[in-house]
Amino acid sequence: MKQILKGGRVIDPANNIDKIADVAFENGVIVEVGENLAADGAEVIDVTGKVVTPGLIDMHVHLREPGQEAKEDFLSGSSAAAAGGYTTVATMPNTRPVIDDASLVRSCQERAKAVGKVHIEIIGAVTKGQKGEELAEMGDMVEAGAVAFSDDGHFTKTAKVLLNAYDYLRTFDKVIINHDEEPSLVEDGIMNESHRSAMLGMKGRPTVSEDIAVSRDILLAEYADAKVHVAHISSGNAVDIVRQAKKRGVKVTAEVTPQHLTMTDDLVQSWDSSTKINPPLREKKDTEAVLAGLLDGTIDCIVTDHSPHAQEEKDREYMYAPSGFPGLETAVGVLLTDLVHEGKLPLPLMVKAMTSAPAEIFGLKGGKLTAGAPADIAVIDTELEWTVDQKKFYTKGSHSPFIGRTLKGKAVMTFVDGKMVMKDGVVF
């Protein structure tokens, strides 16, 4: 049956649309976007006062399948995505076993189609076992449907191995997503190296570790004329390295998380492991530089790095707790509250970084409200105030630095292929 979302503010960066309009869809695809569309027997959904966008896309999540389902699985993780307004997520391969061959890509795809509430794309490993020694069978994984490649969680130690990967993947026009931290500089570090780490007596992870790694990986990509994507950028100097590389014409893109845009290492407390992430929360100057990079186009995408852990793992001393926290259900609220409503980030740019930009970089079908495109749609109430409550999370992860915060703005409807999968926080 034809449905029309009527009277909302439609923001579709791919088509340069930002106006009050209607969105009609039928049989899983967008039919028309325009003003005052005739109902013609369609089901009309009044979204007056709401923002209608393409379904959000997150190309950096950890859904933990296979092998770590106690932390998260495709059902719980995709439910969290639907609750947050996401219609497509891409899961990282640092699982048990590592997703490093075509059979694992296919089995994950089958599982995702069987239980996923949203589209779940599979990212394959660059090297076998993510050990950084021998290239994985990336060509086979491309044919199986892998959308990108990453040894996320690990820095590819040998430049020659990464250069070979760039050369190999250039044929397939696929992107390598690099986790950039020089291991020798971050060994045993648990937070940003700064005055704050010294005050807390915690060993630090300096920003220069990221700067060196980003520089190396960009130079190798430039030499190979290959694509490179910098994961969860957090250092101000690293942002400028990407900026200068783009000016030279290097095929480099970058992503940032809400936490690295809005939080600093001043929030780190030794008794609260929820702020322990990798790369760590940085200083205010880095946060400001990262935001500036997003505003000027140096940084292309906003991702969550959704990284849930089991309660017993995270509920430990800061030193021993794993890095990461769940972010799919809080990202929109945090970005709207701390950046958009504060006048620091234009809403259309936020939408672009979470829809059309990642779709273009990774060659996805979604990210736009064009006639004939998949009816993957998010409806956001930018004025809705709500309090973050881990008991209401769909994710299995319960540790978040945002718990207890009152946020302003939330996704209130999510449509995947024209089917409503979430309304008012309830996932179907």
Q: What is the pLDDT of residue 216?
A: 98
pLDDT band at 153 (very low <50, low <70, confident <90, very high): confident
pLDDT in tens, 94-147: 999 999 999 999 999 999 999 999 999 999 999 999 999 999 999 999 999 999
> What per-residue confidence (pLDDT) applies to 40?
86
Q: What 8-state DSSP symbol labels residue 275?
A: G
**pLDDT over threshold 90, residue 56:** yes
Domains defined along the chain, listed by start: 3-52+374-427 (2.30.40.10), 55-362 (3.20.20.140)
**Percent of the chain scoring above 90 in pLDDT:** 98
- Residues of the chain with pLDDT > 70, as a percent, come to 100
Buried b (16+ CB within 10 A) or exposed e, 16-30: ebbeebbbbbeeeeb
Position 282 pLDDT exceeds 90: yes
pLDDT value of position 335: 99
pTM of the model: 0.98
- pLDDT for residue 239: 98
pLDDT of residue 64: 97
Catalytic (active-site) positions: 305
DSSP result, 374-413: B--EEEEEEEEEEE--GGG-SSS----TTTT-EEEEEEEE
Residue with tokens 């259900």: 329
